[in-house]
Each structure stands twice: as C-alpha cells, then as structure tokens.
Structure 1
Amino acid sequence: MPVEERLNKWLSRMGVCSRREADRLIEEGKILVDGRPAVTGQKVSEGQRVVCGGRIVGKAGEKEKTPRQVLLAVNKPRGIVCTTSDKDRAQNIVEFLAYPERIYPIGRLDKDSQGLLLMTNQGDLVNKIMRCGNGHEKEYEVTIDRPVTEEFLKKMASGLWLAELERKTLPCKVRKTGDKSFSIILTQGLNRQIRRMCEACGCYVRTLKRVRIMNIHLGNLKEGSFREITGEEYRTLLAQLEQSKSLSERDLRLKNK
C-alpha cells in the first residue's frame, strides 16, 4: 500500500463499505484507528489498527490482500434499510443477507421500497455507478392511491419542481401499466424522488419496486434472495459504464471550450 492512504479509500478497497458510507461512519465515531476515533479526511499508514463498528478490520499493510471482487443483484424486501445507522431501528441489508464476505449497497432503496439493489465490495464500481452525471437508467414499478391519468403522466415525464429539495427533476420516461399503476425510468437519484414527485402531483405511493439498474434486471429473483452478476451481464455493465464515462468527459471538454 502507499505510505499513507485516506482511511475512507482504504476501507472501500478492503471491501468494508463505500467511501461515502465510511465518511458517515467516521462522523458517527464508529471507526477507530489505533484505539482512537477517526476523523474526516484522516489517512492511515502501514501497521495502524482499524476497527469498524466494533469489528477488527485489520492492520493497514499487514498481509494485506484485496478481497475477491463481488457484485450481487439483491431483491430487497420492504422494511429493510440500506444503511448501518441505528436511527431507523430496523435490520439493515448487510445483516439481512449475512453474506460471507464484506459487501455494501450501491446507492439506496428506502425502507418502504423493495426490489433490485446492487451490492459489492468494489469501491471503484460504486463510484462509477453513483455518478449522477453519467445518466444511468433505473426503472421502477409504482402503484399510487388514485387513478393514473394522462395529465399525471405528462407532469411526471416533463419534470417537477420539488420544493423540499429546491430542485426540478429531469425529464423521464413514464408509462401507464394499470388503473393505479405506472412504470417510470429515471436517470437521476434524488432523495425519495418518486415519492416526492407523486406528492407534487397530489397523490401518494402505495408500493414502489425497482426492477432494473442499467442492464441488470430483477427478473424472477425471489424477495430476500440474491444472485451473483458474472459473465456477459457483468461485462456489459462495465462496457456501459466506460461508455458513459467517455460521454461525460466529452461533454465536459465541450463545456469548457
């Protein structure tokens, strides 16, 4: 390892959690370095002992080896949270799966939502998928408390101002699938976005299920189950990420001209 490495990056590389989650755990005082609470932006050097959430991660640089790369498609049930925070007093997805290797979710599905969640121990993959500017598609099936009208579909598709977030949603694809149900494809990930969008249209979400992230489909995966993403499915995902990265870099160059 380098002489010094940022703690959040090291934890991500060792498959403990994402960099963002590491920063949150550091702020909550749940990560210790040599017995002392870590601080935001801290670096670790060879031989320092790291403890996360009461569990020993190990000593930086000591027999250090990168864990086997894992990427899972998970069908998250309702009632399970995607963070390790205690504030929800609910079981988190890591505890629920009890996977034999350290993995963590890429992004989130809120407690009341269900469906496709990607989990991994690859920090770089998390960063690539989470970059909102890359416009990665995520598809959801939603039911609401009143009939789906053409006016509702047009409002949802054209973009809505969300007062609580002081943001307008990007245009998206929306399709009616039943009297009170619809399918929606987003390319951004604002907090509780679909629920907020529906509320802005005067209705409330009854059920919300994510069924696709980019080329990864939920398919017939049973609730509470998971499968490993490998082979052509994995290679296609990486190719799409590389393509979106190239497009983002091109757009940035054009913008700076």
Structure 2
Amino acid sequence: MQPMRLAKYLSHCGVCSRRQASRLIEAAEVTVNGRPANHIDHVTDADDVSVSGRPVSGPAPKKLYAYHKPVGIDCKLRPDDASSLIHYLPPGERVYPIGRLDKDSRGLLLLTNDGELCNRLIHPDHHQEKEYQVVVDRPFDAQFCAQMRAGVPVDGVMTQPCRVEPVSADSFTIILKQGLNRQIRKMARYCGYRVVDLYRVRIANLHLDAQALPPGHYQAIALTQLELLEKEK
C-alpha cells in the first residue's frame, strides 16, 4: 500500500474516526515503530503502529451496526466509566459510534469501524439528514417553530435552516443536516424552552424501528442498506 497519513490509517484500520485518531495522537497514545507518533507521520502496513499499547493490524472488514441507545449511556468510550458505551458494544468487534447522542438523549446510533463512512456521515460538507422527535417543558407557538426553522445562535455559530413540524402542543419533529454539540437542546433553550425528551429516529435513510430493535439492543446492517446524499454542489 502507499504511505497514508497516520490519522487516516487508524481510521482505515477501524480503530476510530479520523477526528478521534487526531485526539489520540495529540494525547501521545499512538506510537509508530516504537516512538511517539506525530500528526505528519505517514505509514503503511509494514510499520509497527500501536494505540494505547495495543498493536494495530491492517484494515478490518467494514462493519455497520444500528444501536438503540437508552437514556443514561455516555457515548464517550471510557473503560473506567460504567455508563460508557464501550461496555455495550458488540462483543469482539472494534467499532465506535458515528457521532454522538448526549447522555440524556436516546434513539438511533450507528456503530462502525469504517472511518471513511464515519466522515461522510458526520462531516458538515456532506449534509446527511438526522431526524429527531422532541418534547419540551411547555406548550409552544408558531413563532417558536419559525425561529427554530430559520436558525438561532448556538455557541457563537448560527444554526442552518432546518425542518421543524409540530406534533402536539409540546412536541415536534426536527430534521437537521448539522451536528453541533447538544444543538437541539441549545436551540430550544435560546427560544426559551427546555428539552425534556430527545429521541433520534432516523439517520440518512435508516429509520429506527423500536419494536424490532428495543432500547439497549443492536443489529448488524449491510453497508449497502445505507443510502447517503451526495455532496451538494
């Protein structure tokens, strides 16, 4: 194989996403041929690459799972945290979450060892849709929906226009192509409301069927089942 930038190589081997690989390199958790790695390293399968003391083998077969995340599971992969998702991953599989749902949120989470797929799903340039069902702490009006659709400031960034449809006096669906940290909760807070339930029901064309996949369970998905939007011109 041709030499590959280290973060991309770790992603290609199914260790983690490129973004997570960069964090591991920065934290001095990665070595190349016995020395601490740096971000500009380029490697091949002939190099001795280790992460947290564990050798990295070549590219693994690409895997994709759907996981119905319950409230209380933290998507950060921390072995010392009993609530961490790392304790609920498919046994024997080296997969990681594509993006996150915060600890207080529930619903569809995708797990993979395919770094390129992860990048296509979470990078804002690719505009993949994510759909949520949301309940807030009190009834809202049409102005709330209009404000949420148009965009509000979140952490110094204006959110992109999105689709918001009321379902009941205090619940709505929202479809985002953006993925800012705790975005929906912060959008609602800016508008004067508090989210009391946030449930992700769709990523791209994959819908969560709670009867077929109860909370806390996962199932394998063929990569061919996932239909991604092409990058907008």
Query: What is the TM-score with the length of structure 1 in the denominator?
Result: 0.81
Report if the CA contact (8 A) 1:72-1:229 is conserved.
yes
Q: Indicate conservation of the 8 Å contact 2:78/2:86, yes or no.
A: no
Q: Which has the higher helix share?
A: 1
Unaligned runs of 5+ in 2: none
Find the residue that maps to 1:48 and give its secondary structure.
Answer: coil
Q: Does 1:22 align with 2:21?
A: yes
* CA–CA distance in structure 2, aligned partners of residues 22 and 95 of structure 1: 20
Q: Secondary structure at the match of 1:153?
A: helix
Distance 1:112 1:37, change over 3 A: farther
Q: In 1, distance between residues paired with 2:60 and 2:153?
A: 43
Q: Distance in 2 between matches of 1:5 and 1:130?
A: 22
1:254 is aligned to none
CA RMSD of aligned residues (A): 2.1
Determine if contact 1:81/1:90 at 8 Å carries over to the other structure.
no
Q: Partner of 2:77 in structure 1?
A: 84
Deviations 1:13-52 (A, max 9, x none): 1111111111111112222233433222322345432222
Q: Secondary structure at the residue paired with 1:154?
A: helix
Matched-pair contact (CA < 8 Å) for 2:89–2:95: no
CA distance in 2, matches of 1:92, 1:54: 21
Letter in 2 for 1:113: S
- Which structure 1 segments of 5+ residues have no match? 59-63, 252-257
- CA distance in 1: counterparts of 2:71 and 2:55, whole angstroms: 31
Contact 1:141 1:183 (8 Å CA) reproduced: yes
- Structure 1 residue 90: deviation in Å? 5.4
Query: 1:174 offset after TM fit, Å?
Result: 1.2
Q: Sequence identity of aligned pairs in percent?
A: 45
Q: Alignment partner of 1:176: what SS?
A: strand
Contact 2:107–2:200 at 8 Å: present in 1 too?
A: yes
| Counterpart in the other structure of 1:237 | 226
Alignment counterpart, residue 70 of structure 1, candidates 63, 86, 104: 63
Indicate how the Cα distance of structure 1 residues 174 and 12 shifts in structure 2: closer, same or farther if over 3 A, else same.
same
Greater relative contact order structure (CA < 8 Å, 6+ sep): 2
Counterpart-to-counterpart distance in 2, 1:85 and 1:26: 17
Identify if the C-alpha distance between structure 1 residues 54 and 144 changes in structure 2 by more than 3 Å, giving closer, same or farther: farther
1:139 aligned onto 2:128: no
